[in-house]
Structure 1
């Protein structure tokens, strides 16, 4: 991928040019193979920590990976438009507001050996804000062209600490207009349930494990109310959630399931809300 400044990324998006790039800060990547009213994001896929603050981080790579969402970016490789975080959520969490995106303590563990300085915090927050400026610009262009857009906000979750049986897929609906978009959600659920996995029970639930209250869903709801953000959590059955090691066959099966489900669901959404353009994945 080429390296581009935020300004250069805006230039390509506004001209509706096809490109793939890592922003020059290294914070996230963007790939646009075609301009379609569907975006996939993996905002917890990254594990980078800036060199300037890495020596103060109390958690090692394995501890961080436990709460990050490894491989979620890989799951989206077949889709036309993908935004993927490269920085760790432990540096700043894109699914929290700018005011709350830097952890002091997370999941019962202290994060920093000493607090970040005002400048260091500001530098982290600026990276958070940069991602949302790019997302905002991209959505504005797609909405201008198609009137509405669907955003698949992909995450994963640890399940061994959950006392009850948890579904393989959880759709969070807190910021979704269920009256308007319930047919789209039911269509996605149906497509996900078509998949069969060896020795894994498939299941899809709404708001059972998480309710979709993250900042990205809130940002889209507040700033792009004509579009739909669908937060989707995948149970970490595709990896050892403790070590972070993948189970390649299951990871491949989950990836194929999401490819089919998102592609058909995006086409369904488009027929109903975005001018009838057919959307398929990059790989048939």
Structure 2
């Protein structure tokens, strides 16, 4: 398996690994790098950028045989937005944040959008290979979300609105993939996470409306089950960026341990 440390640096777009399994993990908001000609033109400071990215999601999928990790920041190009909205040009596209000191040129936009195009071209080819080998596959589209948006000392979002794990399924044929999704949710809910059970619910904080799951279900309607998995940032301080490595290790173990469950459920459908 590839060592992530070999794939860091501003010149790297993404890293991939292929192995003997129909289960794939992606971390498309893990990246923090921004290409040099854009970085100096950003109005948004680095801490603010990091707060809305999904750090450590690459670590959570590290033990999967098949994984895709995007290394660029979502503030350069957001792969989980449709192409025409993938570059945040106005504050309302980016949680009210002013990203750029001045409007980006057409050339700047074209360069970023070319990366969006290249990624989805790569993704389709990658998944075609898995499909050819196994007939069907599951993508765990791993993300994370903030729950203390009003400040480090603020009251967190009410638990009723913020499950530990939010499963997004809105773009899939839910009835077809029920054996896979239900098995995964049951496994996560029953998992011993540092001495407690996790709150796992479907389509509460997010519904799985991102571009990647939509793309997969459109291109692979009979063979691709893409599950949007949003971890509440219970594994880090969302304001300082400091990780809780014990929690990250536990989530990494959860994802790794889910593979045989997912493979077994996938055989029911396929």
Q: CA deviation at 1:21?
A: 6.6
CA contact (8 A) 2:164 2:199 kept: yes
List aligned pairs for 1:217-228, cutoff 5 A. 217-226=213-222, 227-228=224-225
List aligned pairs for 1:49-198, cutoff 5 A. 49-104=34-89, 105=91, 106-161=94-149, 163-165=157-159, 166-198=162-194
Q: CA deviation at 1:102?
A: 0.2
Name which of 247, 257, 271 aligns with 2:267.
Answer: 271
Q: CA deviation at 1:192?
A: 0.6
Q: Distance in 2 between matches of 1:76 and 1:189?
A: 17
Q: Distance in 2 between matches of 1:136 and 1:86?
A: 18
Q: CA deviation at 1:201?
A: 5.5
Q: Please say if 1:28 is aligned against 2:14.
A: yes
**TM-score, with normalisation over the residues of structure 2?**
0.88
Q: CA deviation at 1:144?
A: 2.0
SS of the equivalent of 2:75 reads coil
Q: Distance in 2 between matches of 1:164 and 1:96?
A: 27
Higher mean C-alpha deviation, range 44-53 or range 96-105: 96-105
Q: Distance in 2 between matches of 1:188 and 1:214?
A: 20
Gaps of 5+ in 2: 150-155
Q: CA deviation at 1:259?
A: 1.5
SS of the equivalent of 2:234 reads helix
List per-residue Cα deviations over 1:122-169 (Å, max 9, x = no partner).
Answer: 010111111111110011122222221111100001112464212111
Q: CA deviation at 1:88?
A: 0.1
Cross-structure match for 1:235:
232
Q: CA deviation at 1:229?
A: 0.4
List per-residue Cα deviations over 1:152-187 (Å, max 9, x = no partner).
Answer: 100001112464212111100101211111121111
Number of residue-to-residue matches in the alignment: 255
Q: Please say if 1:249 is aligned against 2:246.
A: yes
CA contact (8 A) 2:191 2:197 kept: no
Higher mean C-alpha deviation, range 87-96 or range 245-254: 245-254
Gaps of 5+ in 1: 3-19, 275-284
